Amino acid sequence: MSYDNNNVFAKILRGELPAHKVYEDDQTLAFMDIMPRAKGHTLVIPKTPARNVLDATPEQLSACIQTVQKIARAVMKAFDAPGVTIQQFNESAGGQVVFHLHFHVIPRWEGVPLGPHTGKMEDKEVLEANAEKIRQALAS
């Protein structure tokens, strides 16, 4: 399978679609999932094309996982979460919905189940408020 330059994350990277950004460096972008499975659910993507982990370069994977760790620490702090779930899906049979490599960083609390993988869209105001909490956690 080949990379589709018109996937939603490629459009976000080109500025064609909005995103509630929480972190960005030369190689990666982290932003709020618009259908969060929990409060603070954040996505981390490489800025260069990669369909998923199966075709990503070692450099893309390294950059992403470093950002995943940074965001994981920040979401735990921002939302006073005692744990975090990191998810990454590959191809349709593996649960992948958007075909641009991405990692889900989801803060977790004991006894609180995750919402569905493709649930309801969150209000923009809530997403922006959550993004700001994460940005503040990253800055402190």
The active-site residue out of 100, 102, 104, 117 is 102
Positive or negative torsion for Cα 25, 44, 131, 86? negative
pTM: 0.96
Residue 120 DSSP label:
P
Mean pLDDT confidence for 70-89? 98
Active site residue 102: yes
Domains for the chain: give ranges and CATH numbers: 8-139 (3.30.428.10)
What is the CB neighbour count within 10 angstroms for residue 111?
5
Model pLDDT for residues 35-56, shown as the tens digit of each residue:
999 999 999 999 999 999 999 9
With 0-12 / 13-18 / 19 or more C-beta atoms within 10 angstroms meaning exposed / middle / buried, residue 58 is exposed
Model pLDDT for residues 123-134, shown as the tens digit of each residue:
999 999 999 999
Model pLDDT for residues 62-79, shown as the tens digit of each residue:
999 999 999 999 999 999
